[in-house]
Structure 1
Amino acid sequence: MNTEIGEAAPLVEVHAAERIARITIGNGARHNALSGAGWSSVEQAVRELSHDDHVRVVVIRGRGRTFCAGSDMTEWVGTESDPEAVEDSFARMEAAFRAVEECPVPVVAELRGVAAGAGCQLALACDLRYMADSARIGMPIARLGILASPSFAARLVALAGPSVARRLLYTGRLFNARDAVAAGLVDQIVPASELAERTETVLARIADQPPEAVRAAKQAVAAALRPLREATRENDRPAVSPADFHAAVSAFLG
Structure 2
Amino acid sequence: MSKPENRYQAIKWHRRGRVLTLEMCRPESFNAVDEILHEELSRVFRDADADPHSDVIIFTGNGQAFCAGGDVSWMQRAIDEPETFERTVTEAKQIVFSILDCEKPVICRINGHAMGLGCTMALFCDVTFMNETVKIGDPHVLMGMVAGDGAAVIWPALIGMAKAKEYLMTGDPLTAKEALDLGLINHVCAPDELDDTVKRFADRLANGPVKSIKWTKVSLNIHLKQVAHSVMDACLAYEALTNQSADHQEAVTAFREKRAPIYTGK
TM-score, with normalisation over the residues of structure 2?
Answer: 0.88
- For the pair 1:239 / 2:248, whether they are aligned, the reply is no
1:140 alignment counterpart: 139
**How well do the aligned residues superpose, as a CA RMSD in angstroms?**
1.9
Distance 1:190 1:253 in 2: 33
Give the 3 Å change call, closer, same or farther, for CA 33–210 of structure 1 in structure 2.
same
Q: How does 1:12-161 map to 2 (within 5 A)?
A: 12-149=11-148, 151-161=150-160
1:229-252 CA distances to partner (integer Å, 9 max, x unpaired)? Answer: 222232243425221112211211
Give the 3 Å change call, closer, same or farther, for CA 78–223 of structure 1 in structure 2.
closer
Distance 2:150 2:79 in 1: 25
1:93-118 CA distances to partner (integer Å, 9 max, x unpaired)? Answer: 33223211111111011012200000
Bigger helix share: 2
* 1:33 match: secondary structure: coil
Stretch deviating more after TM superposition (95-104 or 176-185): 95-104
* 2:5 match: secondary structure: strand
Q: What's the CA shift for 1:156? A: 0.6
Q: What's the CA shift for 1:14? A: 1.0
Runs of 4 or more off by more than 4 Å in structure 1? none
Q: What's the CA shift for 1:145? A: 1.1
Q: Which one-letter code corresponds to 1:250 in the other structure? A: T
Distance 1:82 1:27 in 2: 24
Give the 3 Å change call, closer, same or farther, for CA 165–5 of structure 1 in structure 2.
farther
Q: Which one-letter code corresponds to 1:83 in the other structure? A: P
Q: Which one-letter code corresponds to 1:112 in the other structure? A: N
Give the 3 Å change call, closer, same or farther, for CA 15–28 of structure 1 in structure 2.
same
* 1:237 match: secondary structure: helix
Give the 3 Å change call, closer, same or farther, for CA 115–150 of structure 1 in structure 2.
closer
Distance 1:216 1:79 in 2: 39
Distance 1:171 1:117 in 2: 13
Stretch deviating more after TM superposition (42-51 or 179-188): 42-51
Q: Which runs of 5+ in 1 are unaligned?
A: none
* 2:252 match: secondary structure: helix
* 1:212 match: secondary structure: helix
* 1:13 match: secondary structure: strand
Q: What's the CA shift for 1:132? A: 0.7
Q: What's the CA shift for 1:17? A: 3.9
- For the pair 1:251 / 2:254, whether they are aligned, the reply is yes
Stretch deviating more after TM superposition (173-182 or 29-38): 29-38
Stretch deviating more after TM superposition (243-252 or 203-212): 243-252
Q: Which one-letter code corresponds to 1:207 in the other structure? A: A
1:170-213 CA distances to partner (integer Å, 9 max, x unpaired)? Answer: 11111001100011110011001110110000000010111111
TM-score, with normalisation over the residues of structure 1?
Answer: 0.91
* 1:32 match: secondary structure: coil
